Structure 1
Amino acid sequence: METDEVLRLLQDVAAEVVNPRFRSLDEAEIAEKQPGDLVTAADHESEELLTAALLEAYPDAVVLGEEAYATDPHLIQRFVDAEHAFTVDPVDGTRNFVHGSPDHAVMCAEVVGGETTRAWVWQPQHETAYVAERGGGTWRNGERLTRPPVVGDPVGATSRRRWRTGRLGDLPQLRNTWWCCGVDYPHLIEGDTDYLLYGHPKPWDHAPTGLLVTEAGGVVGDLEGNAYTAWTHTSLIVAAADRTTYDRVRQAVAADSRLG
């Protein structure tokens, strides 16, 4: 499938099963995978449609969907073993979606040998599409994006409450993210925050969005300085506007006992 075809697929699926339920979910359409981890009928139906379309186009690929993984944890190993794979996040920011916030997204990434080669993020309520191709840049609704320079001390964001207490070395105190990787990373690219700090990253969250950042000039990696890939398994990753910010943040995080 061409890059624009996959984007249209995400947009069509969102129009069919996600948007009609926005602020219209019945209680029976909401469940918990575990305490506080919400899932909805829109998540399930969106993932089924996206997975079926991708497998029709690429029958030999492995599709790692967030909800499929929840019922079959062995799927992650098949994903890692696959030469060609896709990740699917059917409704990134489900909690936002359930509570009526427009800050949610439908996301997909193509992965070859562990490296993300193409990425799609569709924010249906904002009607904004972010697309990236390895070596081809990051684009928002057809306009190429480049991360603006950091001015002054870098300001960061995280969704982890315990990380927002106190400060990381001499860095400004962390603030809240937008509780959705498909919204957080675009805010980083557009200069609304200078770095993001995440724990226990999942491929469906960070494979597509990580490519958006790196193709816009940013850096995503672990505390040892290794670049993030779809196969990365670590406790913490940092997404930053540039190499200098990334190195400064990861060193501050490594020295902070609260984040160990």
Structure 2
Amino acid sequence: MIRLPDPTAVIDIMRETADAVIIPRFRSLETGDIREKTGPDDLVTIADIESERRMTPLLQELLPGSSVVGEEAVALDAAVLDNLTADAPAWIIDPVDGTRNFTKGNSKFCVMVGLVHRRQPVLGFILDPLGQRCAFAMRGEGAWMCGYDGREERLAVLQAAPSADMRGALNFRFLPSPLKEEMKERAKTEVGEHFRFGCAGHEYLSLLTGEAHFAMHPKNMPWDHVAGSLMHQEAGGFHARFNKRPYYPDQLDGGLLMAPDEGSWDELREKLWP
């Protein structure tokens, strides 16, 4: 097992980056600061690009010999994803998660960093710069919330409840038809209140801070899930791909369903899928 860097050092890099290149551009983006990647719902801003560019060498310096899988680097060269299965540990960077929200002046955005070694998430961080807080986890050491004031609080998922009484995040966006329409209809009667933030990081934070019981994501891009899935597990939750097989960061499909425990996962899976 590798010797993991001090989580405080990672949080410092994330905070300094957010203060330097993200927060100053919130609600101050100009037309030329935003462009489409694959379409109008897939955006990148100057804050995404500069944030990833700034954090990449600093994280590698913390862990010599490590590689980096950044969302924007992969957009330019898909071969960067090969680092997920290499022997060297790989940092995973989502420089601004919830970019579309960020461009609209919506506060539901964050910065996410994870560390993968031998296909296993071993460190995870979700920084909410506007909320002045950072959730983090180290494999086997629990999940914690660290405020900018220095206070730390151990995180735990909500207790399981019947599906009709549970609240959570449901993302149907990448499901094929007619499965998408059928699941939307089932969700109206089979589960309790559900929502979508348009920001995986904030949906994970809702699981970790007692605001939600469950979350469902059809697409498994590593920058969206490496950090949050580790924190959810360390906070006592259960997650798996839709076929109930374990999640690995290099598997980009198969979806993810998060629940308080295995029994509630099974119930949600049964209730939501036709």
- Separation (CA, whole Å) in 2 of partners of 1:82 and 1:67: 22
Residue 74 of structure 2 corresponds to residue 62 of structure 1 = no
Q: Is the 8 A contact 2:84 2:249 kept in 1?
A: no
Identify which range, 238-247 or 210-219, moves more after superposition.
Answer: 238-247
- Separation (CA, whole Å) in 2 of partners of 1:159 and 1:33: 21
Q: Secondary structure at the match of 2:83?
A: helix
User: Following superposition of structure 1 onto structure 2, how do residues 69-84 of structure 1 map, counting pairs within 5 Å?
Assistant: 69-84=74-89
What is aligned with 2:8? Answer: 4
1:186 pairs with one of 201, 205, 209:
205
Q: Aligned residues: percent identity?
A: 31
- Separation (CA, whole Å) in 2 of partners of 1:182 and 1:223: 20
Residue 42 of structure 2 corresponds to residue 30 of structure 1 = no
1:147 pairs with one of 130, 150, 157:
157
Q: Is the 8 A contact 1:150 1:194 kept in 2?
A: yes
| Structure 2 runs not aligned, ≥5 long | 147-151, 174-179
The structural deviation recorded for 1:143 is: 0.4
What is aligned with 1:172? Answer: 191
TM-score by length of 2: 0.87
Q: Is the 8 A contact 1:239 1:246 kept in 2?
A: yes
Query: Number of residues paired by the alignment?
Result: 255
Question: Alignment RMSD, CA only?
Answer: 1.8
The structural deviation recorded for 1:171 is: 2.0
User: Following superposition of structure 1 onto structure 2, how do residues 110-259 of structure 1 map, counting pairs within 5 Å?
Assistant: 110-141=115-146, 142-153=152-163, 154-160=166-172, 162=180, 165-168=184-187, 171-172=190-191, 175-253=194-272, 255-256=273-274
The structural deviation recorded for 1:169 is: 9.5
- Separation (CA, whole Å) in 1 of partners of 2:161 and 2:83: 43
The structural deviation recorded for 1:168 is: 4.5
- Separation (CA, whole Å) in 1 of partners of 2:247 and 2:118: 13
One-letter identity of the residue aligned with 1:195: F
The structural deviation recorded for 1:173 is: 6.0
Cα 1:215/1:81, change in 2 over 3 Å? same
Q: Is the 8 A contact 1:167 1:174 kept in 2?
A: no
- Separation (CA, whole Å) in 2 of partners of 1:226 and 1:69: 26
- Separation (CA, whole Å) in 2 of partners of 1:169 and 1:81: 43
One-letter identity of the residue aligned with 1:14: A
One-letter identity of the residue aligned with 1:12: E
- Separation (CA, whole Å) in 2 of partners of 1:40 and 1:49: 14
Q: Is the 8 A contact 1:118 1:134 kept in 2?
A: yes
Q: Secondary structure at the match of 1:74?
A: helix
One-letter identity of the residue aligned with 1:156: G
Superimposed CA distance per residue, residues 143-164 of structure 1 (whole angstroms, 9 cap, x where no aligned partner): 0011121334333322325466
Q: Is the 8 A contact 1:197 1:238 kept in 2?
A: yes
Q: Secondary structure at the match of 2:21?
A: helix
The structural deviation recorded for 1:235 is: 2.8
Q: Secondary structure at the match of 1:227?
A: coil
One-letter identity of the residue aligned with 1:144: R
Q: Is the 8 A contact 2:157 2:213 kept in 1?
A: no
One-letter identity of the residue aligned with 1:212: M
Superimposed CA distance per residue, residues 47-86 of structure 1 (whole angstroms, 9 cap, x where no aligned partner): 0111111122334212000000000001112322243111
Superimposed CA distance per residue, residues 71-128 of structure 1 (whole angstroms, 9 cap, x where no aligned partner): 0001112322243111000000101111111111111011111111111110001111
Q: Secondary structure at the match of 1:167?
A: helix
Q: Is the 8 A contact 1:155 1:171 kept in 2?
A: no
- Separation (CA, whole Å) in 1 of partners of 2:20 and 2:251: 33
- Separation (CA, whole Å) in 1 of partners of 2:55 and 2:137: 19
What is aligned with 1:49? Answer: 54
Q: Is the 8 A contact 1:87 1:203 kept in 2?
A: yes
